[in-house]
Structure 1
Amino acid sequence: MEIREFEESDWPQIWPFMEQIIRKGDTFCYDPLQTEVQARDGWVVPPPGHVVVAVEGQRIIGTSNMYPNRPGPGSHVASGNFMVAPEARGRGVGQALGEYLLDWARSRGFAGVQFNAVAASNAAAVRLYERLGFAMIGTVPGAFWHPALGPVGLHVMYHNLGSY
């Protein structure tokens, strides 16, 4: 598996698995009814953000975006998202994308990486982030509406990069 910078020609391979994930509505705080154009505009962040893909052969099996968490006084903390194609889960793709995001943030001098909204019901993501060194710093009770479970918590998770 190789992780490389996103190219515009990658989108047609990303959208099918991203659409499947978004439409389920059980892991991301994205509108399950959003259009492909809305999804692409939200995912492909402009500089100083960065977007990458995980590639196996010629096939894209995951993607990540990364960017300053907030503008201005909050821009010293990074954030990001990853999506892994369902058929590639459990093979270390999320781990590799997470390590890439942390390296990217570290190399640009960010103080840390903050995930603002990790669904408590997304146990696989929570375990992955904890393996990567993230700590749960708070949970907003019932802030995520899971289609089967109803209201579940949204975790805020943080990884201190030791820059400050």
Structure 2
Amino acid sequence: MIRIMTQSDFQRFWPTFKAVIEQQETYAFDPDMSQQAAYALWCEKVDCAYVMVEGDEILGSYYLKANAMGPSNHICNCGYMVTTQARGKGVARTLCEHSQNEAKARGYLAMQFNSVVASNQVAVQLWQRLGYQIIGTIPKAYRHPRLGFTDSHIMYKWLD
């Protein structure tokens, strides 16, 4: 089941969020971000945030927001995180498909991912299977803790 994320949901999701940003392998978020700042970023400064649950277990979450303002506000941006125990089970695919439907329902015509770390091949390949194209690559845009400077892709999909 996928539903709007509550503050209580985020508190339960916080260990996953914190682990992801501390690993510094996929998100350009401050690894020392507080739970309060993370909640504001993921749930308050966005159009909406959703959580995928199975029984009492949180499997993953995403946010949806405008990627830009004014004449470019028809393009949205999303971020996704999946719990360690739910990885490899289709959760990210399900969340992405849900986010595309939600984006269209909110009037967005396209979705853009501004920085998909190139070394995150699982995500790059999934987004490509779902119809996203790499429209640009930013050389050495991400400081990966093991790989050093790594490229990031800008990925885009027209939704309509």
Q: TM-score range with shorter-chain normalisation? A: over 0.9
Q: CA separation in 2, counterparts of 1:143 and 1:8?
A: 32
Shift of 1:142: 0.1
Once the two structures are superposed, residues 2-52 of structure 1 have per-residue CA deviations (whole angstroms, 9 ceiling, x without a partner) of: 1111112212211011111110001111111211111111111346x1110
Q: Number of matched residues? A: 160
Unpaired runs of 5+ residues, structure 1, are: none
Q: CA separation in 1, counterparts of 2:44 and 2:63?
A: 7
Corresponding residue of 2:9: 10
Corresponding residue of 1:20: 19
Q: CA separation in 1, counterparts of 2:10 and 2:98?
A: 20
Corresponding residue of 2:37: 38
- Secondary structure at the aligned position of 1:44 is classed as helix
Corresponding residue of 2:67: 69
Change (3 A) 1:128 1:45: farther
> Which amino acid in the other structure matches residue 44 of structure 2?
V
Corresponding residue of 1:81: 79
Match runs of 1:7-156 below 5 Å: 7-46=6-45, 49-156=47-154
Corresponding residue of 2:158: 160
Shift of 1:107: 1.8
Q: CA separation in 2, counterparts of 1:38 and 1:109?
A: 28
- Secondary structure at the aligned position of 2:60 is classed as strand
TM-score with structure 1 length normalisation? 0.94
TM-score with structure 2 length normalisation? 0.96
Query: What is the Cα-based RMSD across aligned positions, in Å?
Result: 1.1
Q: Which runs of 4+ in 1 moved over 3 A?
A: none
Unpaired runs of 5+ residues, structure 2, are: none
The share of aligned pairs that are identical, in percent, is 38
